[in-house]
Amino acid sequence: MSVRDAFNLEGRTALITGGSRGLGLAMAGALGEMGAKVVISARKADELDAAVENLKRDRGVTAVRVIGDLSRAENVNPFVDAVAAAAGAPIDILVNNAGATWGASAEEHPLEGWNKVLGLNLTGVFLLTQQIGARWMIPRKQGRIVNIASVAGIKASQHLKAIAYHTSKGGLVQFTRALAAEWGQYGISVNAICPGFIPTKMSQGALDQLAPRVIEATPMKQLGEPADLEGLIVLLASGAARHITGQIIAVDGGASVV
């Protein structure tokens, strides 16, 4: 197989949760450009509609969208049914990108916030991955799962007061390793991307306060961009990564190594 063919995603169907903006939208565009059929999901219909239009206009990618709130366990099975109807094909690539955060010091962090963040960032990922795996990937003995964790899951910060977020992303890192070990026998790879600080709607509040400090502490002296994940998501979703699984890859300008 040529290198070009190894990266070709034609004939594959990808589901990207949290795909209506930011990192999810960028990754959806990259997968679509490489030939994958793209399904994006989020909670808000208007944002999904805008994302579908954006992908078509700016990248020539035709996507379908499914509305879903994965923070509630009872929503997962109906959501997967809706994905099946919208996609019209088995899901080959799952990008678990939907996430939430909650800013509060540990001693004041409300249980409501803890449950919201863990419910979406960890429990929702588990339940969705379980369903996608059982329905399509395990029976077909193939699949690519990419979890979007965070450098907050591999390195603590005294400045970013978001203990539920740190905990959820650390759990997602270990979830990735455990699932890779268990599902490798089925030809399914499971990897995680850990972005550093990248300006998005979710991170902007923290960056408004921390951006100069983050840049100074980053060896490459810059913030990331959503496009910085595009090449990596294509690699991990493609045949070029057939022997890569259980890996946790930081995209953070070197911030996690100093």
Predicted confidence (pLDDT) per residue in 143-174, tens digit? 999 999 999 999 988 778 899 999 999 999 99
Q: Is 165 one of the annotated active-site residues of the chain? A: yes
Helix locations, the chain, DSSP H: 3-7, 22-33, 45-59, 76-87, 111-118, 125-132, 138-140, 163-183, 204-217, 230-237
Q: Which two tokens stand for residue 205?
A: 């509040």
pLDDT at 258 over 90: no
| Per-residue pLDDT reduced to its tens digit, 83-115 | 999 999 999 999 999 999 999 999 999 999 999
pLDDT at 205 over 90: no
| Per-residue pLDDT reduced to its tens digit, 62-83 | 999 999 999 999 999 999 999 9
pTM score of the predicted model = 0.96
Q: Where are the domains of the chain?
A: 3-250
Query: Out of 25-39, 48-62, 215-229, which region has the weakest mean confidence (pLDDT)?
Result: 215-229
* Residue whose token pair is 């100093």: 258
Catalytic residue among 165, 175, 183, 197: 165
**Sign of the alpha-carbon torsion through 75, 81, 82, 84:** positive
3-class DSSP state for residue 82?
helix
| Per-residue pLDDT reduced to its tens digit, 229-241 | 999 999 999 999 9
Question: Looking at the domain 3-250, which fold is it?
Answer: Rossmann fold (3.40.50)
Residue 246: predicted pLDDT: 98
Residue 199: predicted pLDDT: 81
Residue 221: predicted pLDDT: 94
Residues 6+ apart with CB under 8 A from 101: 117, 162, 164, 165, 202
